[in-house]
Amino acid sequence: MVVAIVHEQDAARAMEALGAKGFGVTRLNSEGGFLERRNSLLLLGLDDSLVDEAIATLRTVCRPRHEQLSSNRGRDQTAANEVDVEVEIGRATVFVLDLGRVERL
C-alpha cells in the first residue's frame, strides 16, 4: 500500500495522473499540524511491482513551493522578535507499507 500526503494544490493533478495510469486512488482531506496547511491523503493499494511507477507519477506532479511564515506562528503574536521565515511546502511525503493480507469484497 502506498500512502501519500500531498499539498492541496497538487491533489487533483495527482489523482488525475494516477488515474490515467490505471491506479485506483482514495483521497482523504487532511490538515498538517506544524504548518496548518490543507493536504490530501492518497491511498493506493498496489502490487509491489507498481509501487515505483506510482511514486514516479507523484514526483512529476507534486511541486515544491515556498512561503513566508512568521517565526511566532502559534505563539504570542505581539512579541517584538517576530521574523519571517521562508519554508518549502508542497511535494509529497510517501509511505510504502507491506500488508500481510488484502481482501476485496
- Note the CATH architecture for domain 2-96: 2-Layer Sandwich (3.30)
The string of pLDDT tens digits covering residues 24-70 is 999 998 876 555 678 899 999 998 999 999 999 999 999 877 777 66
Q: What is the pTM of this model?
A: 0.75
Instruction: Write down the domain spans for the chain.
Output: 2-96
- Whose CA is closest to 36, among 73, 64, 9? 73
The string of pLDDT tens digits covering residues 69-86 is 666 655 555 555 677 776
User: What is the C-alpha separation between 17 and 25, in angstroms, rounded?
Assistant: 11
